[in-house]
Structure 1
Amino acid sequence: MMKLDFEDWNIHVGTPHPFNKRAPKIDNGTDRPSPARYHDDEFAHEEWEKVFARSWLLAGPASDIPEPGDFFKFDIGPESFIVVRGEDGAIKAHYNVCPHRGSQLVESDFGTVEQFTCPFHSWQFDLEGHNTKVTDEETFRPEVLCHDRNLTSVRCEVAVGLVFISMDENIKPLKEFLAPILPQLELYDIDKMYVVQHRKSDWGANWKGGVDAFAEIYHLHAVHPQTQCLMDDRTQIDLWEGGLSRQFVPFAQPAERYPDQETVNPGIQLMLRDAGIDPETYQGTAAETRAAVQQAKRKRSDDLDLGYEKFSDSQLSDSVVYSIFPNTQIGCHPEAIFLHRFLPHESDPNQFTYDTCILYRDVDAPGYSAPAWMGLGPETDLSGETRPEIVHTGLGEPPGLGEVLDQDSDLLPIVQKGARSRGFRGPLWSEQEGRLRHFHGELDRMMNRGEW
């Protein structure tokens, strides 16, 4: 049997450009991990302590808290955090817990305050987390109040307009961790974007099952066959240390395995319109539309001074998807980005919450918009004047995330059930699933479990 080199699976992703340069190859081996990582309670507990408690975690966009006193709540696993912009403009993060008796301080997803007041006994804390008021302070023995009564703060740093927190006070600086991909992310001006859609849904699977499904497009032909007429699934994968990775997802051309490379189908017609091309007058084939979209968007940028000269051709047409270890993926486009977070359940390794945001930056230019396939309806406020509420659907409820994501939410519980079977001996990853092996290798490194 002929051995297939991974390079044979890759497609060309535009004209040569520094952005498209391949990362040095990382060989993560061929071992087969135990499936216990997907369902075992002991593994999940150890994972929380050794991975989540020692990693940088994406809490949310800085645009959600533009003014002093603005805060948002970030819940993950058994913990809850308050992320707040201080009086000095700096962003801080504290555990969402009162040091008096342990009550959570805030329950709302967002808000604006001058100070935090505990709902149980009215103790108060400033934005920095310092205790400023103890109700009936004279009834406490002085020796009791000599103990630390401030909020417990956590490391909090910002990169490309995104706020990350870490429970590990000794963790390396965020920008050092993100260094291999940070210059690439900075090209997208995420710090100038704001949330225009935010949805959460509870899924009956382990959070790593979500990471796995979103880190490969090998499954598109089987789970999302409707995408094959407008998305290619043979593509470039790049890996970096720390579990970081990226993958190009080429749009506006059929997959190589799709039989019809000629017909400009309705999906591709939509992408042509996005780029300002009239499908009725377009003379090329479906296989040629990706290049046409790239050229049209570059011309639009030149005409309207959008600054797209900093992007490679593939960035203009494709989704460039980054994995930030442990539980975040970012799908990047010049006009908008998708944030995906896979939040572990507080106690059940067979559940997680899928949290997804679309961030957009409005530009007053004819034809400028978020990619149509993102599914932002005409009712969506793209101005940034109002922060949309979080729409949260519970376990078993139709998530209403759109056809493709709803298909994922239906499938992952089936995968999770199989992962618990005695007959499943662990995953066997192809080179198309290289990001999965890379992710799990970093997971095991942090778990100190050595070789699989």
Structure 2
Amino acid sequence: MKTEFDLWNIHTGAPHPFNARAPRIDNGTGRPDPDRYTDPAYARAEWDRVFARSWLLAGPLSDIPEPGDFMTFDIGPESFIVVRGEDGTIHAHYNVCPHRGSQLVTTDFGSLDRFTCPFHSWKFGLDGRNQEVTDRDTFRPEVLCHGTDLSSVRCEVAAGLVFVAMDPAIKPLREFLAPILPQLELYEIDQMYVVQHRRSDWGANWKGGVDAFAEIYHLHAVHPQTQGLMDDRTQIDLWPGGLSRQFVPFAQPSPRFPDQESVNPGIQFMLRDAGIDPATFTGTARDTRAALQQAKRQRGVELGLRYERFSDSQLSDSVVYSIFPNVQIGCHPEAVFLHRFLPHPTDPNQFTYDTCILYRHVDAPGYSAPAWMGLAEDVDLSGRTRPEVIHTRLGEPPCLGEVLDQDSELLPVVQKGAHSRGFKGPLWSEQEGRLRHFHAELDRLMASG
């Protein structure tokens, strides 16, 4: 079924519907209690009222392409197995044997025809049904009648991503994502696969991570190197359920940057990535973003990439979505960033930052993921191998790249300040509207009891 994005004609000169602003949502001007970042009791309630009642991103569907392929998804105190069944159906189960509670699998990924408990070798089908109880005749029937199957959870797929939910009564995933789902589907994430996956433990609350990634107000202070090639006064859109997006324009200086004319080295890097020779480019920095858009659109025509479904800004910018509670997706025609902020099982002063890059392979000259994503030259872009997860522990250098490393260094400083009696709670500007929107949904669920 075609959407308004597919039907839009670039030659009419009409605004692309993708860029249309969402109806305004006013989340007020309140100042929330900072205990949400530090209080263990709040974190325990948050697990039951927020995470146990929300759709949670387990991973991309491309990680389990064949029957028997599985991935584990660990978040807070829980671990889940997400597996493709023999008939192609996606199942999700708690990663725990009903006999004595042993975890069934301990690897990030794998492929099995069934699950076997390492403790007493009980066996389970991919659909979670028990296939064998070791020495069944030694159990009284009244014991086994309590249930020998795996405990399964809701599992649904949208836009090439697999979500799980612990709440059996939760609304369907596509209904929850409805305001943004047609936009996400434009990027065809279902045709992408992981080419880089990194995980690191940070000394801060998971909401501190969400907050930092949901605004670009901090770029001039924390990441000043970005000011010459990224605008930081941008469009923000909010939708019910804690959903939001923000455009992050590339290849043009921030209004804060003193030189708005020179095509600086950072912008030259982006022009070159789009196939434009900076040495022959005759415009100024005011012209570079539009030139990059035109070059990519032409490349799309030459390579048959169907870029006509994208607005100009989608070709040059990062469009970053927040999916409540703990996911952000940075979208580009060639590749997307998936960011997950995973709460620590017991300590509100720690979380795990999980990030991966998904890429759509096209074997054509000049086509690649945006160079600023920082993929190493030895990264396999063919999709033939799934990279291992590189996990750095708390206190180890995360080695995520210059910008992300700067965030990992700053957030523990912010977390320490959140414990101070002098901090009364955040004061959000309109540039931080996505943060206020996120916390409004958080408060709604926390008040639900």
TM-score range, shorter chain: over 0.9
The equivalent residue for 2:94 is 95
The equivalent residue for 2:116 is 117
The equivalent residue for 1:238 is 237
The equivalent residue for 2:351 is 352
* C-alpha displacement of 1:145: 1.3
Task: State the alpha-carbon separation in 1 of the partners of residues 150 and 416 from structure 2.
Answer: 41
| Contact 1:15/1:313, CA 8 A, preserved across alignment | no
SS in structure 1 at match of 2:45: helix
Task: State the alpha-carbon separation in 1 of the partners of residues 315 and 365 from structure 2.
Answer: 17
| Contact 2:49/2:448, CA 8 A, preserved across alignment | no
Task: State the alpha-carbon separation in 2 of the partners of residues 389 and 283 from structure 1.
Answer: 44
The equivalent residue for 1:364 is 363
Count of aligned pairs: 437
1:98-134 per-residue CA deviation (whole Å, 9 max, x = no partner) reads 0000000000110000110000000000000011111
What amino acid is aligned across from residue 201 of structure 2 in structure 1? D
Q: Assess, with a 3 A threshold, how the Cα gap between structure 1 residues 15 and 210 changes in structure 2: closer, same or farther.
A: farther
What amino acid is aligned across from residue 318 of structure 1 in structure 2? D
The equivalent residue for 1:158 is 157
* C-alpha displacement of 1:44: 0.3
* C-alpha displacement of 1:449: 6.8
| Contact 2:195/2:359, CA 8 A, preserved across alignment | yes
Task: State the alpha-carbon separation in 2 of the partners of residues 424 and 67 from structure 1.
Answer: 51
1:287-320 per-residue CA deviation (whole Å, 9 max, x = no partner) reads 2110100011011111221100000000000000
Task: State the alpha-carbon separation in 2 of the partners of residues 401 and 143 from structure 1.
Answer: 53
| Contact 1:129/1:151, CA 8 A, preserved across alignment | yes
The equivalent residue for 2:137 is 138
Q: Assess, with a 3 A threshold, how the Cα gap between structure 1 residues 33 and 449 changes in structure 2: closer, same or farther.
A: farther
SS in structure 1 at match of 2:384: coil
SS in structure 1 at match of 2:72: strand
Q: Which runs of 4+ in 1 moved over 6 A?
A: none
The equivalent residue for 2:309 is 310
Task: State the alpha-carbon separation in 2 of the partners of residues 352 and 410 from structure 1.
Answer: 14
The equivalent residue for 1:275 is 274
**Identity level (%):** 80
* C-alpha displacement of 1:336: 0.2
Task: State the alpha-carbon separation in 1 of the partners of residues 14 and 400 from structure 2.
Answer: 34
The answer as to 2:133 corresponding to 1:108 is no
The equivalent residue for 2:9 is none
SS in structure 2 at match of 1:232: coil
Task: State the alpha-carbon separation in 1 of the partners of residues 123 and 80 from structure 2.
Answer: 17
Gaps of 5+ in 1: 1-13
The equivalent residue for 1:248 is 247
Task: State the alpha-carbon separation in 2 of the partners of residues 70 and 243 from structure 1.
Answer: 32
The equivalent residue for 1:400 is 399
* C-alpha displacement of 1:16: 2.1
SS in structure 1 at match of 2:279: coil
Give the TM-score, by structure 2 length.
0.96
Task: State the alpha-carbon separation in 2 of the partners of residues 278 and 153 from structure 1.
Answer: 55
| Contact 1:325/1:439, CA 8 A, preserved across alignment | yes
What amino acid is aligned across from residue 234 of structure 2 in structure 1? T
The answer as to 2:435 corresponding to 1:431 is no
SS in structure 2 at match of 1:287: coil
What amino acid is aligned across from residue 32 of structure 1 in structure 2? R
1:176-195 per-residue CA deviation (whole Å, 9 max, x = no partner) reads 00000000001000000000
The equivalent residue for 2:173 is 174
SS in structure 1 at match of 2:280: coil
Q: Output the aligned Cα RMSD.
A: 1.0
Task: State the alpha-carbon separation in 2 of the partners of residues 108 and 305 from structure 1.
Answer: 39
* C-alpha displacement of 1:15: 7.4
| Contact 1:211/1:327, CA 8 A, preserved across alignment | yes
1:249-270 per-residue CA deviation (whole Å, 9 max, x = no partner) reads 0000000110011221121111
Task: State the alpha-carbon separation in 1 of the partners of residues 39 and 391 from structure 2.
Answer: 27
| Contact 1:97/1:151, CA 8 A, preserved across alignment | yes
| Contact 2:326/2:342, CA 8 A, preserved across alignment | yes
| Counterpart mapping for 1:72-87 below 5 A | 72-87=71-86
Task: State the alpha-carbon separation in 2 of the partners of residues 47 and 273 from structure 1.
Answer: 47
SS in structure 1 at match of 2:147: coil
Q: Which deviates further from its counterpart, 268-277 or 80-89? A: 268-277
SS in structure 1 at match of 2:246: strand
| Contact 1:15/1:312, CA 8 A, preserved across alignment | no
The equivalent residue for 2:383 is 384
The equivalent residue for 2:6 is none
Task: State the alpha-carbon separation in 1 of the partners of residues 178 and 141 from structure 2.
Answer: 48
The equivalent residue for 1:331 is 330
| Contact 1:319/1:331, CA 8 A, preserved across alignment | yes
SS in structure 2 at match of 1:163: strand
Task: State the alpha-carbon separation in 2 of the partners of residues 339 and 121 from structure 1.
Answer: 37
Task: State the alpha-carbon separation in 1 of the partners of residues 244 and 338 from structure 2.
Answer: 15
Task: State the alpha-carbon separation in 1 of the partners of residues 448 and 265 from structure 2.
Answer: 49
The equivalent residue for 2:227 is 228
The equivalent residue for 1:292 is 291
| Contact 2:54/2:325, CA 8 A, preserved across alignment | yes
Task: State the alpha-carbon separation in 1 of the partners of residues 83 and 116 from structure 2.
Answer: 14
| Contact 1:204/1:352, CA 8 A, preserved across alignment | yes
SS in structure 1 at match of 2:57: strand
1:412-442 per-residue CA deviation (whole Å, 9 max, x = no partner) reads 0000000011100000000000000000000
Task: State the alpha-carbon separation in 2 of the partners of residues 302 and 129 from structure 1.
Answer: 47
